[in-house]
């Protein structure tokens, strides 16, 4: 079917050209004897004008009809600034109706306010929206660039199985009953973790895969039952090598897709420092306003609230915001009180404003003049500055102020748009205490290597053993996590012991995977990058469904095909399974 160019590509410089276009009718207007049709294809929209003689041929044409038009590109009298092609129109000379369309059940335009569920039901129509099509092409471009960069660096893409073995750790697996071996099940992989480590043992040295992963979790707004990971693993490298690969990858992706130049190397901050400064292991570095520890200023305080917190080993922590005190009335601050109390179990939120060279506010009275002066000096406070203070345990103070920091920065417009601040968070704790299981468990996974200098704390002080796990954080989002893995069998046994797992039990659980480590395992490590999150950031959307061609709802339903659905009893019979009595429909 002939076509000379994309509709959205026409510009003033094309005036005079004869073109043949194909596209969907996005809009149709009649003006006297003239008919104007906005013709949409993947490249964009152009206005086609049908004069008196041509108008007859399109008199029955309605929205979403497909037309083939031959005509001449002409400069418009009055440009339409809303269209990229707005300086020209195409005067139709021939027209063919390629296919007809019934009235679409949703409005196909980016101004649409149609309810999301309806749009998901008609996803194939919603995907005609130029903004969604652009995101699909952006996602493609991200993957193309990722593959190019990794290939150039000697990484080999290897497909690992989707029909895999169920593993007992982590999130819930999706299960697939086996027809040939009734009573047994495959599991869909939560990530290619085990396979990629096996590929290192197999000597592939540098592996990647843009891999589909599955987690049967109750969905949060930014999750889908299946998602995609740029999965990377390499042998003989360390953090520097792996970070270098990822940094080069990100630089290329940001350059190719949105023309943005990232800094050459990304900042690295150890986990503990990160928590101390930002109250979060995924801080947004687009603004400052770090958490300030004011505890030393109150060592001798007589203010009972602070006194008792300090005596109990807690902190007096603060967030300082400049020149905005006038924006925080008591009523506004009350809302922030609720936020830290209900969201983070903080006992209270104190505050001080600088007014005419002196501090006023909720704790202005109980604090001594010397203490207030110390606060002013420590934070270098100026008129109309405000400081929020939480006196609480370190954990509560950090969590509450970390969240408050982000909220206030957003409210105050301190978050620079169009800026991308990357950060490596390193030295994550190896273990965390599971109240549920009443034992130390691996915070990342039990194959994560630990810092050599922390080896002697493995049993005496597991809380303070740092792992060689790391995250890459972008503008407050965790974009990837990864680690250097254990390749030494003795260390692996010790780590299992530390989490209360005998080698026997470990073998029961991880069987063949542990066996594999006996035959010459190279030092190795890697990362898994969340593709959807990356594309969301690049596309500037907060809705994960904008970056997935055929997404499910938050309640894990595909409204378009109405899946999951009921299947025939015969299909279950050959799988050797039955529905529990109360699930029969």
For the segment 462-521, give every residue that binds its own copies (CB under 8 A).
487-488, 511-513, 516, 518-521
Rule CB under 8 A: choose which of 71, 237, 283, 525 binds its own copies.
237
- Give 462 or 525: the residue with its C-beta nearer to its own copies: 525
3-state secondary structure 376-405: HHHHCCCCCCEEEEEEECHHHHHHHHHHHH
Rule CB under 8 A: choose which of 52, 345, 549, 569 binds its own copies.
549
- Give 312 or 565: the residue with its C-beta nearer to its own copies: 565
| Sites for its own copies among residues 550-579 (CB under 8 A) | 550, 552, 555-558, 560-567, 571-579
Tokens of 146: 């990722």
Q: How far is the CB of 175 from its own copies (least distance, A)?
A: 6
| Sites for its own copies among residues 313-352 (CB under 8 A) | none
> Which positions from 43 to 82 touch its own copies by CB under 8 A, shown as an x/- string?
---------------------xxx----------------
Q: What is the DSSP string of 189-228?
A: -S-SHHHHHHHHHTT--EEEEEEEEE---PPPTT--SEEE
Q: How far is the CB of 463 from its own copies (least distance, A)?
A: 30
Q: How far is the CB of 487 from its own copies (least distance, A)?
A: 6
- Give 199 or 391: the residue with its C-beta nearer to its own copies: 199
Q: Give the other-Cβ count within 10 Å of 482's Cβ.
A: 24
Stretch that binds its own copies, among 74-82, 152-160, 463-471, 495-503 (CB under 8 A): 152-160
- Give 255 or 335: the residue with its C-beta nearer to its own copies: 255
Integer-rounded Cα Rg, in Å, for the chain is: 30
Query: Phi, psi at residue 212, to the nearest 5°?
Result: -80, 135
Q: How far is the CB of 118 from its own copies (least distance, A)?
A: 13
Q: How far is the CB of 25 from its own copies (least distance, A)?
A: 8
Of 39, 480, 428, the residue nearest 233 (C-alpha)? 480
| Sites for its own copies among residues 274-293 (CB under 8 A) | none
- Give 164 or 425: the residue with its C-beta nearer to its own copies: 164
In whole angstroms, what separates CA 398 from the centre of its chain? 23
What does the alpha-carbon distance between residue 20 and residue 4 come to, in Å, rounded to a whole number? Answer: 5
Q: How far is the CB of 555 from its own copies (least distance, A)?
A: 7
Of 493, 524, 510, 468, the residue nearest 199 (C-alpha)? 524
Q: How far is the CB of 272 from its own copies (least distance, A)?
A: 28
- Give 264 or 562: the residue with its C-beta nearer to its own copies: 562
Say whether the peptide bond before residue 381 is cis (omega within 30 degrees of 0).
Answer: no
Say whether the peptide bond before residue 564 is cis (omega within 30 degrees of 0).
Answer: yes
What does the alpha-carbon distance between residue 303 and residue 492 come to, in Å, rounded to a whole number? Answer: 50
Q: How far is the CB of 126 from its own copies (least distance, A)?
A: 8
Q: How far is the CB of 471 from its own copies (least distance, A)?
A: 23
Stretch that binds its own copies, among 46-54, 93-101, 304-312, 377-385 (CB under 8 A): 93-101
| Sites for its own copies among residues 104-143 (CB under 8 A) | 104, 123-125, 127-128, 133, 136-137, 139-140, 143
- Give 158 or 394: the residue with its C-beta nearer to its own copies: 158
Q: How far is the CB of 273 from its own copies (least distance, A)?
A: 28
Sign of CA dihedral 534, 540, 542, 545: negative
What does the alpha-carbon distance between residue 150 and residue 145 come to, in Å, rounded to a whole number? Answer: 8
| Contact (Cβ atoms closer than 8 angstroms) between residue 233 and residue 524 | yes
Q: How far is the CB of 264 from its own copies (least distance, A)?
A: 23
| Sites for its own copies among residues 392-411 (CB under 8 A) | none
- Give 172 or 255: the residue with its C-beta nearer to its own copies: 172
Q: Give the other-Cβ count within 10 Å of 66's Cβ.
A: 17
In whole angstroms, what separates CA 310 from the centre of its chain? 38
Give the orientation angle of helix 271-278 with respect to helix 394-411, to 10 degrees.
60
Rule CB under 8 A: choose which of 56, 75, 238, 416 binds its own copies.
238
What does the alpha-carbon distance between residue 562 and residue 472 come to, in Å, rounded to a whole number? Answer: 37
Sign of CA dihedral 222, 226, 227, 232: positive
Q: How far is the CB of 538 from its own copies (least distance, A)?
A: 16
How is the beta sheet containing 350-355 ordered, strand by strand? 292-293, 315-321, 386-392, 350-355, 358-361
Stretch that binds its own copies, among 225-233, 304-312, 388-396, 452-460 (CB under 8 A): 225-233
Rule CB under 8 A: choose which of 236, 273, 302, 502 binds its own copies.
236
- Give 361 or 446: the residue with its C-beta nearer to its own copies: 446
| Contact (Cβ atoms closer than 8 angstroms) between residue 185 and residue 178 | yes
In which residue are the tokens 């603060």 written?
Answer: 318
Please state whether beta strands 18-31 and 34-41 pair in parallel, antiparallel, or not at all (unpaired): antiparallel
| Contact (Cβ atoms closer than 8 angstroms) between residue 461 and residue 476 | no
Q: How far is the CB of 48 from its own copies (least distance, A)?
A: 16
| Sites for its own copies among residues 199-218 (CB under 8 A) | 199, 201-206, 212, 214, 216, 218
Tokens of 97: 């109706």
Stretch that binds its own copies, among 220-228, 274-282, 336-344, 376-384 (CB under 8 A): 220-228
Of 190, 198, 192, 191, the residue nearest 172 (C-alpha)? 190
* H or E stretch covering 231: strand 226-235
* Total residues interacting with its own copies, rule: CB under 8 A: 121
- Give 110 or 383: the residue with its C-beta nearer to its own copies: 110
| Sites for its own copies among residues 154-183 (CB under 8 A) | 156-166, 172-183
| Sites for its own copies among residues 366-385 (CB under 8 A) | none
- Give 161 or 296: the residue with its C-beta nearer to its own copies: 161
Of 409, 412, 410, 447, the residue nearest 430 (C-alpha)? 447
């Amino acid at each position: 079917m002939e076509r000379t160019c994309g509709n959205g590509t026409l510009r003033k410089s094309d005036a005079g050209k004869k073109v043949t276009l194909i596209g969907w009718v996005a809009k149709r207007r009649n003006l006297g004897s003239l008919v104007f049709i906005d013709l949409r294809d993947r490249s964009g929209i152009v206005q086609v004008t049908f004069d008196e003689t041509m108008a007859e041929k399109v008199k029955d044409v309605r929205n979403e009809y497909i037309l083939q038009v031959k005509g001449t590109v002409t400069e418009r009298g009055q440009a339409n600034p809303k269209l990229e092609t707005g300086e020209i129109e195409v005067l139709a000379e021939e027209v063919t109706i390629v296919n007809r369309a019934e009235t679409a059940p949703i409005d196909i335009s980016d101004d649409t306010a149609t309810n999301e569920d309806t749009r998901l039901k008609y996803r194939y129509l919603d995907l005609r929206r130029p903004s969604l099509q652009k995101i699909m092409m952006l996602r493609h471009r991200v993957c193309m660039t990722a593959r190019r960069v990794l290939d150039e660096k000697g990484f080999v893409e290897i497909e690992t199985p989707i029909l895999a073995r169920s593993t007992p750790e982590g999130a819930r697996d999706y299960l697939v009953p086996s027809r040939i071996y009734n009573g047994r099940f495959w599991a869909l992989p939560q990530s290619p973790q085990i396979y990629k480590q096996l590929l290192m043992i197999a000597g592939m040295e540098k592996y990647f895969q843009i891999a589909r992963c599955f987690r049967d979790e109750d969905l949060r707004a930014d999750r889908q039952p299946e998602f995609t990971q740029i999965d990377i693993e390499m042998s003989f490298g360390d953090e520097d090598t792996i970070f270098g690969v990822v940094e080069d990858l990100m630089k290329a992706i940001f350059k190719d897709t949105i023309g943005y130049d990232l800094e050459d190397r990304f900042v690295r901050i150890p986990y503990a420092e990160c928590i101390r400064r930002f109250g979060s292991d995924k801080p947004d570095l687009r603004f400052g306003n770090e958490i300030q520890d004011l505890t030393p200023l109150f060592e001798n305080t007589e203010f009972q609230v602070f006194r008792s917190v300090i005596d109990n080993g807690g902190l007096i922590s603060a967030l300082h915001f400049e020149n905005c005190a006038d924006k925080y009335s008591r009523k506004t601050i009350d809302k922030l009180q609720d936020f830290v109390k209900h969201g983070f179990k903080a006992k209270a939120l104190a505050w001080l404003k600088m007014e005419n060279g002196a501090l006023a506010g909720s704790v202005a009275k109980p604090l001594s003049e010397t203490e207030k002066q110390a606060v002013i000096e420590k934070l270098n406070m100026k008129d109309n500055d405000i400081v929020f203070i939480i006196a609480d345990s370190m954990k509560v103070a950090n969590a509450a102020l970390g969240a408050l920091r982000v909220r206030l920065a957003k409210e105050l417009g301190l978050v620079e748009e169009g800026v991308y601040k990357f950060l490596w968070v390193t030295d994550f704790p190896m273990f965390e205490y599971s109240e549920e299981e009443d034992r130390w468990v691996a915070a990342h996974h039990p194959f994560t290597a630990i810092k050599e200098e922390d080896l002697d704390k493995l049993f005496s002080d597991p809380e303070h053993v740092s792992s060689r796990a790391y995250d890459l954080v972008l503008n407050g989002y965790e974009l990837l996590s990864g680690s250097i893995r254990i390749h030494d069998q003795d260390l692996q046994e010790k780590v299992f012991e530390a989490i209360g797992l005998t080698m026997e039990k470990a073998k029961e659980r991880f069987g063949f995977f542990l066996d594999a480590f006996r035959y010459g395992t190279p030092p190795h490590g890697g990362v898994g990058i969340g593709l959807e999150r990356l594309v969301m950031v690049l596309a500037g959307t907060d809705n994960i469904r904008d970056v997935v061609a055929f997404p499910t709802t938050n309640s894990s339903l595909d409204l378009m095909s109405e899946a999951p659905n009921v299947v025939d009893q015969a299909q279950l019979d050959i799988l050797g399974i039955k529905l529990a009595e109360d699930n029969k429909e």
